[in-house]
């Protein structure tokens, strides 16, 4: 399996520490970048399997890099590594279809575990504080992180089959999640569910 990682961070000490830790975990560092523009050049040049991405860059932000990368491939694992876990950032990360969101204060084992998962399911979002952030942000009904993920993809107009393919789950599992979403939102169909989510600004749009 391709385990090549592009590290994007404007702090040389942070990059060096990550390079050392990831090499010990059997990842290959294919390139590093210190800015948005450098990151885009390196993605095009090296075609990494994974991008470990800081949000605060001197010429832009990590979401711009993530959106560009996701626009060319659904197979790249994209993990945000940042100092800030504000609810708005978590929602923005989810909307950007990144694979994971990890705080720089987290142990390196959490970073590595998130990268490992991103390799296998690059379109399945994981963040330790997601559900708490969602509830704090908008008093979201008791949707699980997975149900919220399904709801977010539902808003893009994808079919049940397409959602299942994107999340590497079976169609019956997606149908079960949809049934739970409809019940919790007290609606009867996908259009109503998406309308409720948009009216409450749950989709980060």
What is the predicted pLDDT for the residue at 96? 82
The residue to which tokens 């893009």 are assigned: 156
Give the pLDDT confidence score for residue 8 in this predicted structure.
Answer: 97
The total number of structural domains that make up the chain? 2
- Check residue 67 and give its pLDDT: 86
Please tell me whether residues 67 and 160 are part of one structural domain: no
Residue 90, CA distances (Å) to 101, 103, 108 in order: 7, 11, 20
Structural domain range at position 119: 4-128
Could you tell me if 84 and 116 lie in one domain? yes
In whole angstroms, give the CA distance from residue 152 to residue 202.
Answer: 8
Q: What is the pLDDT of residue 111?
A: 95
Check residue 135 and give its pLDDT.
60
Q: Looking at the structure, do residues 151 and 119 belong to the same domain, yes or no?
A: no
Residue where one domain finishes, among candidates 81, 108, 128: 128
CB atoms within 10 A of CB 36: 21
Same domain, 124 and 157: no
Together in a domain, 76 and 110:
yes
What phi, psi does 10 have (nearest 5°)? -90, 5
Q: Which two tokens stand for residue 57?
A: 């860059």
Q: Are 53 and 124 within one domain?
A: yes
Report d(CA 161, CA 78) in Å as an integer. 24
What residues of the chain score a pLDDT lower than 50? none
Are 84 and 182 contained in the same domain?
no
Per-residue pLDDT at 136: 56
133 located within any domain? no
């Amino acid at each position: 399996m391709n385990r090549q990682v592009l590290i994007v961070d404007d702090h040389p000490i942070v990059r060096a520490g990550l390079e050392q830790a990831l090499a010990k975990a059997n990842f290959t560092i294919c390139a590093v970048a210190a800015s948005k523009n450098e990151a885009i050049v390196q993605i095009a040049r090296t075609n990494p399997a994974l991008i470990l991405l800081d949000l605060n860059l001197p010429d832009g932000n990590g979401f711009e890099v993530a959106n560009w990368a996701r626009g060319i491939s659904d197979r790249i694992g994209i993990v945000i590594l940042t100092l800030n876990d504000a609810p708005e950032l978590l929602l923005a990360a989810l909307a950007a279809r990144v694979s994971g969101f990890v705080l720089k204060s987290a142990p390196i084992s959490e970073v590595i575990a998130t990268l490992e998962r991103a390799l296998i399911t690059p379109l399945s979002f994981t963040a330790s504080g997601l559900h708490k952030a969602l509830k704090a942000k908008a008093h979201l009904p008791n949707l699980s992180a997975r149900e919220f993920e399904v709801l977010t993809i539902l808003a893009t107009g994808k079919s049940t089959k397409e959602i299942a393919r994107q999340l590497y789950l079976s169609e019956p599992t997606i149908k079960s999640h949809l049934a739970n979403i409809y019940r919790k939102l007290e609606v009867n169909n996908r259009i109503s569910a998406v309308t409720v989510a948009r009216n409450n600004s749950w989709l980060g749009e």
